[in-house]
């Protein structure tokens, strides 16, 4: 067997395969609908990265949590926390904005530690605890900043929207930074431990790992990535808003699942990237698809809700596909069918 074929077979077995396939599929679709020349223009690529970096980073922040067997759906509103802290520190204290960003990052780490305390130490159900955190963080946001306000200096948001060397979107640096750090972390003991704890906390404990501590480490990684996501959101919007970003939490979670991450010990950062990429590109595609319809069919007008409907239906099928293709779940589904029709666990093997 050739090396390439071997590599493909190996890749096929990894959890990221489904996410990659979905992502590649819609990417090709997007290029076709938008036209290759248009799609690959530096301006279009730059917009794609700069407008979607918060979602991409939110999804990547969720990945270490899911791998280590926990969850935080309040990440979305935490972006707004980073945003308001950054802006208010800058505006009220008169310090440079990057000090504000640092404080925003700190706030994100504090909330991450709080969520860890509720879920890993006090053992509250993660879904419930982080759901209640949404309201707590939102309240704190409004206490810090009562209404949308503030301005980011032009040199900051212009840099964010710029192209490095006229080619590489500046915002893509966030992605590269997180990926490089993550690639290092995953090769350390920490990288093994989060999978062990997510896969089976009891067995990880028996192997001498402290699951609560490992989940704390994972939460801190999540906190840093969430901080970066909040900073990119601030640079993107160039102002402060205490109530924005909430939807990123659940969207990030669904992106993880589409990408092939499971609840505990299954999946990788690549899953998160592909999953988020899928969500982003599908919306892009549908937008350009409707543009195409407007041009091709004279007098064709629909509200933008139709775009959402179409893209959500495609996302739904994407989710369905992950169930059918994810090895574990497919096996469960198959066994379920066989059990119904043949009436035995054994027949299903």
Residue 130 tokens, joined: 């982080």
Tokens 């709080």 locate to 114
Which of 66, 140, 196, 229 is the binder for other proteins (CB under 8 A)? 196
Residue 77 tokens, joined: 């509103």
Residue-wise DSSP of 293-345: HHHHSTT----THHHHHHHHHHHHHHHHHHHHHSHHHHHHHHHHHHHHHH--T
Q: If binding is defined by CB under 8 A, does position 259 make contact with other proteins? A: no
Restricted to residues 154-193, the positions that interact with other proteins (CB under 8 A) are 184, 187-189, 191-192
* Distance of alpha carbon 39 from alpha carbon 255, whole angstroms: 23
Provide the minimum distance between the beta carbon of 264 and other proteins in the complex, in angstroms, as a whole number.
Answer: 8
Provide the minimum distance between the beta carbon of 156 and other proteins in the complex, in angstroms, as a whole number.
Answer: 33
Q: Which is nearer to other proteins, 111 or 204 (CB)?
A: 204
Restricted to residues 126-145, the positions that interact with other proteins (CB under 8 A) are none
In the shown chain, the binding pattern of residues 263 to 302 toward other proteins, with x for contact by CB under 8 A and - for none, equals: -xxx------------------------------------
Which of 36, 208, 298, 299 is the binder for other proteins (CB under 8 A)? 208
Q: If binding is defined by CB under 8 A, does position 11 make contact with other proteins? A: no
Contact 76, 222 (CB under 8 A): no
Cα 347 to Cα 189, 323, 338, distances in angstroms:
40, 22, 7
Contact 278, 322 (CB under 8 A): no
Q: What's the distance, CA 65 to chain centroid?
A: 11
Q: Which is nearer to other proteins, 142 or 338 (CB)?
A: 338
Size of the site for other proteins (CB under 8 A): 32
Q: Which residues bind other proteins (CB under 8 A)?
A: 10, 184, 187-189, 191-192, 195-196, 198-200, 202-210, 262, 264-266, 328, 342-347
């Amino acid at each position: 067997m050739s090396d390439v074929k071997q590599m493909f077979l190996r890749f096929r077995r990894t959890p990221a395969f489904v996410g990659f396939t979905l992502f590649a599929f819609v990417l090709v679709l997007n290029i076709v609908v938008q036209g290759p020349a248009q799609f690959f223009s530096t301006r279009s690529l730059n917009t794609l990265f700069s407008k979607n970096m918060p979602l991409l980073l939110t999804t990547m922040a969720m990945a270490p949590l899911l791998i280590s067997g926990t969850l935080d759906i309040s990440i979305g509103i935490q972006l707004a926390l980073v945003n308001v802290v950054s802006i208010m520190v800058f505006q009220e204290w008169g310090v440079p904005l990057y000090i504000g960003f640092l404080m925003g990052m700190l706030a994100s780490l504090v909330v991450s530690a709080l969520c860890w305390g509720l879920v890993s130490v006090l053992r509250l159900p993660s879904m419930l605890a982080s759901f209640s955190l949404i309201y707590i963080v939102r309240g704190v946001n409004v206490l810090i900043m009562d209404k949308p306000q503030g301005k980011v200096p032009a040199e900051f948001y212009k840099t964010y929207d710029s192209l490095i060397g006229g080619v590489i979107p500046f915002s893509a640096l966030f992605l590269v930074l997180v990926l490089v750090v993550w690639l290092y972390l995953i090769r350390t003991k920490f990288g093994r431990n989060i999978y062990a704890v997510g896969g089976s906390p009891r067995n990880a404990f028996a192997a001498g790992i402290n699951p609560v501590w490992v989940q704390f480490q994972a939460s801190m990684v999540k906190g840093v990535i969430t901080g970066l996501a909040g900073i990119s959101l601030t640079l993107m919007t160039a102002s402060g808003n205490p109530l924005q970003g909430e939807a990123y939490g659940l969207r990030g979670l669904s992106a993880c699942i589409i990408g092939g991450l499971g609840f505990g010990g299954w999946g990788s950062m690549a899953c998160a990237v592909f999953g988020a990429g899928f969500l982003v590109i599908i919306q892009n595609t549908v937008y350009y698809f409707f543009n195409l319809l407007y041009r091709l069919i004279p007098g064709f007008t629909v509200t933008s809700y139709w775009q959402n409907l179409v893209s959500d239906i495609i996302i739904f099928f994407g989710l369905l596909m992950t169930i059918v293709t994810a090895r574990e779940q497919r096996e469960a589904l198959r066994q379920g069918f066989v059990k119904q029709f043949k009436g035995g666990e054994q027949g299903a093997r």
